[in-house]
Structure formats: structure tokens, C-alpha cells
Amino acid sequence: MNLSDFLNQSCVTLSHSNQLSQLILSIAEAGKQIAALVAKGKLAGVSHHLDSINVQGEAQMQLDISSHDIFINCLAATKLVVGAVSEELASPHYFPDHLPDAPYLVCFDPLDGSSNVAFDGVVGSIFSILPAPPNAVRSEEMFLQQGVHQIAAGYVLYGPATMLVISVGAGTHAFTLDPDTQAFELTHPNLQIPAHYPEFAINASRQRYWETPMQQYIADCLAGEEGVRQCNFNMRWMASMVADVHRILMRGGVFLYPKDNQVIDRAGRLRLLYEVSPMSMLIEQAGGKASTGRASVLDLYPSQIHQRVPAILGSINEVDLIEQYHQR
Ligand code: F6P
Ligand code: MN
């Protein structure tokens, strides 16, 4: 079954609007265009660094900007989106030609893990679809909605195969791009994250900055069979949230980007609206759990469009346990 058939079917079974299908198809189109660009590698000058830095203080690459532009053009074509927040823009982008009753807002990270581009490593795009408040005045406040209100979320992974993983609130489903037909085919329906899988993903070079509960949790994992966990853990870190979360959706484990004290007033590295919140929806729709360590990610009330939060996502037993470390 391809993406279009899947969305037609879920339109009927979940009675979501046909407009949602149109919007997701337009994002899938953006994903295909970005995949083609990423696949050209150095030949398309994709690792070319610009002099600019984005609102996050990160160096921008030509490919970050091109991916952002592709997203904006695909979203604009639907006329269904009032405004969008992108990692690459300080303020929201408002679509001048949207329909008067356009129902959606979109938050996106056009090229997640883009430092991997320099060596042909895996990257991705992340998106979150929110309801546009009726008659809302254009403002950043429109976007500051709890993650539980997401209508849909997903990512496109630009790996050895290009994959689209989505949830419209009824499970998490993965599609693989067929390079011959350029159709996304449903290859992994209803992903289910095992409740326990002894593998964690964390940037261990930041260990000295972590809070005590995270220090203790990782120390206990590293102690293996001889320690309190009585279990040997494996570790993986792709430095691309899409790639790391994808692995966890496929086989379990836990992804951690905790709060650390290197930058005191920074709650975490990853951004709530277009990284942690959509990934949390996908994880929870696949039977996993998403937490900051102290609260459910999807219950957080965002305070700023580029707000950062701690992210602990994955196998439910492990995330429960990490919350217990924070309570102790
Ligand atoms: O977008 C931020 C991001 O690139 C994520 O994709 C990834 O998980 C993380 O940052 C990598 O962080 P670090 O540079 O600390 O490994
Ligand atoms: Mn990112």
C-alpha cells in the first residue's frame, strides 16, 4: 500500500479530513525533493558552509537553507497552512495565500543532524502539524500548544533508504521510498517499541555536565551485569536525532539528550516544537514513552517557539525508571 492509499483509508477509518492527507502528501513531496538533493552529496555542493548562523547560533549550510525553502514551497502550495515555524527562521513564516479557513500550523526542522552532511552521514527532516486556532491573530502564541494537541507528526530519514515515518494519532507507521516509482510504500505498519531493550543513545562527551540522576542512571547502565541493573547495555550515538530515534522505533532502547549545566539557562539541547514534541508523539504512538525526566513531554506548555527541553524517549520501562531516578 502506498502513502496516498494509506491516507485515503485512514481518512475513512479515522474520519480525519482529506485536507490532512493533502498536507501530509505535500510534506512527503518535500521529503522526496530533499532526498534527491542530499543524495547528490558533494556534487550538489551540499556541504557548502555559509557565513550565516541561524537563530540557534548554529552555522548554516546551503543545504539547511535549500531544505527550508523546499518545505516552505511545498506547504505554500497546499494553501492549507496559516503559518510555519522552522529551525532556520527566528520568527514564524506566514503564508500570504492560504485559504481563509486554512486549518493547520506546521513546525519543522528541515535538516536535522546536518553536521553529518560533511561526511555523507544520515540526516532527516522532522515535522509537527498543529491546529490553527480559528480567527487567530498571527502571532507566535498560536504555535505555543501542548504536544498532545498535535494532529500529526513525522520525519523523513535520508539514509541508505529514504523513509517516511508518520502518526496521525492512530499508531506509528513507516514507509520506504521506492526509488523506481518514487512512491512511499508502507513497509512497517504499526511499529511497536519493546518495553525493554538494553541500549541507550547519549552524547557521552557531555557526561561531566549532567545532573546527578542522569550521572547515576548511565553509571548503573555501564556497570552491566555486575551492577544494580544486572544487565549489559549497548550504546549508539548517530548525532542525528532522526537516525537515533528511528533505531529506537525499530528495535527499542532509549534516546537521551538531558539537561546539562554547561549553559546554565538552557534546559536542554533539542527544540520542543519541531524536534522533541513530534518525536514524542511518534514514540508514544508506538507504545514507548517520552519524558523530560520530570514531566511528560506532550503535556508541556511551550513558552517560546524555539524553546529547548530535555529529551528522554524510548522503551517504556526504561523511561519510567529514568523518571524514578529523577524523583529519588
Ligand atoms: O538538531 C540537533 C542535533 O543535531 C540532533 O539531531 C542530534 O541528536 C544532536 O543535535 C546531536 O548533538 P551533539 O552535537 O551533542 O552530538
Ligand atoms: Mn535538528
Q: What is the CATH number of the domain that holds 308?
A: 3.40.190.80
- In a 13 Å sphere around the CA of 5, the CA atoms on its Cβ side amount to 7
Residue 317 belongs to what domain range? 199-327
Instruction: Find out whether the beta carbon of 239 lies less than 6 Å from any atom of ligand 1.
Output: yes
Q: What is the pLDDT of residue 20?
A: 97
Residue given cell 522552522 in the structure block: 86
Q: Mean per-residue pLDDT for 251-275?
A: 94
pLDDT, tens digit, 9 for 90 and up, residues 247-262:
999 999 999 999 999 8
Task: Examine the domain organization and report whether 90 and 176 are in the same domain.
Answer: yes
Q: What is the pLDDT of residue 16?
A: 80
Contacts of 147 (CB under 8 A, 6+ apart): 128, 272, 277, 278, 280, 281, 297, 298, 299, 300
Eight-class DSSP state of 174: E
Taking the CA of 109 as reference, the closest ligand is 2
Best mutation site among 158, 242, 256, 257 for ligand 1, i.e. most ligand atoms within 8 A of its Cβ?
Answer: 257
Taking the CA of 311 as reference, the closest ligand is 1
Task: Examine the domain organization and report whether 9 and 133 are in the same domain.
Answer: yes
Q: Mean per-residue pLDDT for 178-191?
A: 98
- Say how many Å lie between the CA of residue 126 and the centre of ligand 2: 8
Total tally of structural domains belonging to the chain: 2
- Say how many Å lie between the CA of residue 256 and the centre of ligand 2: 14
Nearest to 128 by CA among 109, 141, 112: 109
Residue 191 scores a pLDDT above 70 = yes
Pairing status of strand 254-257 against strand 199-201: parallel
> What value does the CA radius of gyration of the chain take, rounded to a whole number of Å?
19
Task: Please tell me the distance from the alpha carbon of residue 305 to that of residue 142, in angstroms, as a whole number.
Answer: 10
Q: Mean per-residue pLDDT for 84-97?
A: 96
Taking the CA of 113 as reference, the closest ligand is 1
C-alpha grid cell for residue 211? 545532573
Task: Examine the domain organization and report whether 218 and 164 are in the same domain.
Answer: no
> Phi and psi for 307 in degrees, rounded to 5?
-55, 140
Instruction: Find out whether the beta carbon of 248 lies less than 6 Å from any atom of ligand 1.
Output: no
Task: Examine the domain organization and report whether 212 and 125 are in the same domain.
Answer: no
112 located within any domain: yes
- Say how many Å lie between the CA of residue 271 and the centre of ligand 2: 8
Q: What pLDDT band is residue 46 in, cutting at 50, 70 and 90?
A: low
Q: What pLDDT band is residue 60 in, cutting at 50, 70 and 90?
A: confident
Mean pLDDT of the chain, nearest integer = 95
- Rounded to 5°, the CA angle 305-110-245 comes to 90
Q: What is the pLDDT of residue 303?
A: 97
> Phi and psi for 128 in degrees, rounded to 5?
-135, 135
Nearest to 229 by CA among 268, 196, 181: 196
Nearest to 127 by CA among 114, 141, 112, 138: 112
Task: Examine the domain organization and report whether 158 and 209 are in the same domain.
Answer: no
Of 55-64, 110-119, 252-261, 265-274, the one with minimum mean pLDDT is: 55-64
Instruction: Find out whether the beta carbon of 113 lies less than 6 Å from any atom of ligand 1.
Output: yes
Considering only CA atoms, which residue is closest to atom 13 of ligand 1? Answer: 239
Residue 8 scores a pLDDT above 80 = yes
